[in-house]
Chain A
Amino acid sequence: MLKTTYKILSIPAIILVLGSCGAGKDDTGTEYAPNMYHAVSYEPLIQITEKDAGAWVSSDDDEYGEYYSSNPNNPHSMNMRVPAENTVARSENGMLPYRLPADSLELAAKILKNPFPANEQIIEEGKVLYTKYCTHCHGEKGGGSMDETAKVGGVFKGVPAYNVGRVAEVSGGHIFHVITHGKGRMGSHASQVQQADRWKIVRYVQTLQNQE
């Protein structure tokens, strides 16, 4: 009699246990093979700071749990570090880092030359990049804050149009320098847009300067 009661009781127990396997709001759910899920190496975009996390499934001899993944030698025990200063990133087309400082806008406007020709293909590539990095503030046609497509620019306020006033007159070097270092209220976009891409955007922006 007792046995059958246990049997009957075990059924809702199984339902409860299995029902809680799935992931939910703050819960990642049950893992099938945790040792194969959690990386042994330092992962750049995930960090578990509790030293005994996953100790119950730990298979090695160190004092840390299986899930622990932080580098105590780094600031804030982060897994990622900022590259050493003056590090030169490798680039596809061998471009050297742009070294003019932020306050050299006038010099940049005078001396910089766009390495890409103003042909259809480059302008088309520039347009794709422009749509991704610039449209929400400057608008599809570069109308600035008053452009309806500039959803953020409308809230941000004070984004000029490309084709009027002094903005229509600025050189390619000026545009490149402004994308790199920002100007006025516009921030630097150097961390987002690679150098070569910046020059392509310049080619497209120049077509917007000349419209109408």
Chain B
Amino acid sequence: MLNEQLNMSLKTYITRLSLIAFLLVNILSLTSINSAYSQAAELPTEEAAISEGQTLFKNNCMQCHAVHEVVVGPALKNVYERREIPWLINFIKNSQKVIASGDEYAVNLYNEYGKAVMPAHDFLEDKQILNILGYIKQQTDNPPVEETATTAGGEGAPAGGGGIPQEYLYLIIAGFVIVLVLILVVLSMIITVLTKFVNNKEDLEEADKEYVNQTFNLNKFVRSNGFLFFIIFLFTIIVVKNVVDGLYTVGVQQGYQPTQPIAFSHELHAGQYEIECQYCHTGVMISKSANIPSANICMNCHSAIKTESKQIAKIYAAIDYDPETGEYGDNTKPIEWIRVHNLPDLAYFNHSQHVNVGQIECQTCHGPIEEMAVVKQWNTLTMGWCINCHRETQVQTKGNDYYNDLVKAHDGGELKVVDIGGLECSKCHY
């Protein structure tokens, strides 16, 4: 009995305890949910605050941070849910102080991002930081969709090209062929009908009858003098043209388009991204050769862009760079680019003379390089081609006192390259 009573009281005690525990847990979880929400809710949502946050973000944060990608520092998406707002304010105002205080999260962050020091932003007010966080929240909630669309479009667009698409051209040609065949059928039908009609006439002379009923004799046609002459004439023309054309291409490498070890596209770099030729071909203004860029120039951008690409991996392999750690090793080897423009050894050409002094565009000789996915030799680079240009091109006298005087001495007339010795043999051959 007593035992039973004790049992009962214990049971009620336990149920009560568990009830209390349940309530406690519930309250705790409720408050914790509340705190997460309230933290996000603390951030400003009105347009003015967010636009202020955007400007502040652009001016102070964007050098090292993006909302959705890791740049120098971590991506800031959801940052207000990762840490409490007072912690964030402290860290933004003076990150080094927080790290020095031994805050575990801050120290880990510091180590994870290569010990890059985030400069102090103590000039920002708390309210301004909240506005920045408000902007980040707005960006987190509305991830940019158009970005993927534009890149896809950017990649698809050049392939399309201008003018009528190929498929339409084929359709048009097929249409023409069908129409022509139909006309042929109709014509042959007319001929049979007419022949029948003429044959049915009684009063036809013998000669006319023969003419109407004649059949086409292929053998006779082929053996006719006219046909033979035509064939021989056509054949001779083709042979002569081919021989002359063939002889003219001896020693001319126009159209040479070698496959390079790395599939570098000028269309992408110089065309789409509008990088100036001189950024990579650094010698063009100051030396004989335009130069093939060294890999450190590639790395100015490709330390961060397209680091996953197989083609870029070839650069990394050549300079012994580890994209994971960002460190360089000693085991370097040259990238064996294949030279496209091979001027014969017997001719001298100087880039700086033409580009710097003559102010000639690269495209004048190299063609539309910014549209070439694989570079090819655009012009003939023959002597006739050089001479022609020297005859036609006006000397750039602007800003050159010597040539200015020379033009004056020639009554201000035209001063072509040929007039200053552009056709002298020993200018290019020595």
Interface, chain A (partner B; CB < 8 A): 11, 14-15, 17-19, 21-33, 36-40, 44-47, 76, 78, 131-133, 135-137, 144-146, 149, 151-152, 155-161, 164-167, 184-189, 191-192, 194
- Report A-chain residues with C-beta under 8 Å of the C-beta of B339: 45-46
- Report A-chain residues with C-beta under 8 Å of the C-beta of B304: 156-157, 185
The 8 closest A-B pairs by CB, nearest first: A18-B246, A22-B249, A32-B251, A160-B63, A164-B59, A187-B300, A23-B256, A158-B71
Please tell me which one of the listed residues A27, A36, A161 contacts residue B345 in the complex, with CB atoms under 8 A apart.
A36
Residues A158 and B63 in contact in the complex (CB < 8 Å), given A14-B243, A133-B278: yes
> Which residue of chain B has the shortest Cβ distance to A49 in the bound complex?
B336
Question: Digit string of B394-417 for contact with A (CB within 8 Å is 1, else 0)?
Answer: 000000000000000000000000
Q: Is the CB of B58 within 8 A of A146?
A: yes
Q: Residue B9 at the A interface, CB < 8 A?
A: no
Q: Is the CB of A157 within 8 A of B303?
A: no
Q: Residue B273 at the A interface, CB < 8 A?
A: yes
Which residues of chain B in 240-266 are interfacial with respect to chain A, using CB atoms and an 8 Å cutoff? 242-243, 245-247, 249-259
Q: Is the CB of B245 within 8 A of A44?
A: no
- Report A-chain residues with C-beta under 8 Å of the C-beta of B423: none
A185 shortest CB reach to chain B, Å: 6
Ordered by A's residue number, 20 sampled pairs between the chains whose C-beta atoms are within 8 Å are A18-B247, A19-B246, A23-B253, A23-B254, A25-B256, A25-B259, A29-B249, A30-B249, A37-B344, A37-B346, A46-B339, A132-B279, A133-B276, A133-B278, A136-B276, A145-B62, A156-B301, A158-B64, A158-B71, A185-B71
> Which residue of chain B has the shortest Cβ distance to A27 in the bound complex?
B256
Q: Is the CB of A23 within 8 A of B255?
A: yes
- Rounded to whole angstroms, the CA-CA distance of A43 and B191 in the bound complex is 74
- Report A-chain residues with C-beta under 8 Å of the C-beta of B88: none
- Report A-chain residues with C-beta under 8 Å of the C-beta of B301: 137, 152, 156
- Report A-chain residues with C-beta under 8 Å of the C-beta of B180: none
> Which residue of chain B has the shortest Cβ distance to A33 in the bound complex?
B251
- Report A-chain residues with C-beta under 8 Å of the C-beta of B346: 36-37
- Rounded to whole angstroms, the CA-CA distance of A46 and B299 in the bound complex is 23
- Report B-chain residues with C-beta under 8 Å of the C-beta of A14: 239, 242-243
Q: Is the CB of A192 within 8 A of B282?
A: yes
Which residues of chain B in 261-286 are interfacial with respect to chain A, using CB atoms and an 8 Å cutoff? 272-276, 278-279, 282, 286
Q: Is the CB of A155 within 8 A of B305?
A: yes
Please tell me which one of the listed residues A152, A157, A184 contacts residue B273 in the complex, with CB atoms under 8 A apart.
A152
- Rounded to whole angstroms, the CA-CA distance of A204 and B249 in the bound complex is 49
B252 shortest CB reach to chain A, Å: 7
A26 shortest CB reach to chain B, Å: 5
B9 shortest CB reach to chain A, Å: 68
Q: Is the CB of B243 within 8 A of A133?
A: no
Q: Residue B41 at the A interface, CB < 8 A?
A: no
Residues A15 and B296 in contact in the complex (CB < 8 Å), given A22-B255, A46-B342, A132-B276: no
> Which residue of chain A has the shortest Cβ distance to B60 in the bound complex?
A165
- Report A-chain residues with C-beta under 8 Å of the C-beta of B257: 24-26
A146 shortest CB reach to chain B, Å: 6
Which residues of chain B in 291-345 are interfacial with respect to chain A, using CB atoms and an 8 Å cutoff? 291-292, 294, 296-297, 299-301, 303-305, 333-334, 336, 339, 342, 344-345
Residues A18 and B243 in contact in the complex (CB < 8 Å), given A29-B253, A37-B346: yes
Q: Is the CB of B252 within 8 A of A19?
A: no
- Report B-chain residues with C-beta under 8 Å of the C-beta of A22: 245-246, 249, 252, 254-255
A27 shortest CB reach to chain B, Å: 7
> Which residue of chain B has the shortest Cβ distance to A22 in the bound complex?
B249
A83 shortest CB reach to chain B, Å: 13
A67 shortest CB reach to chain B, Å: 11
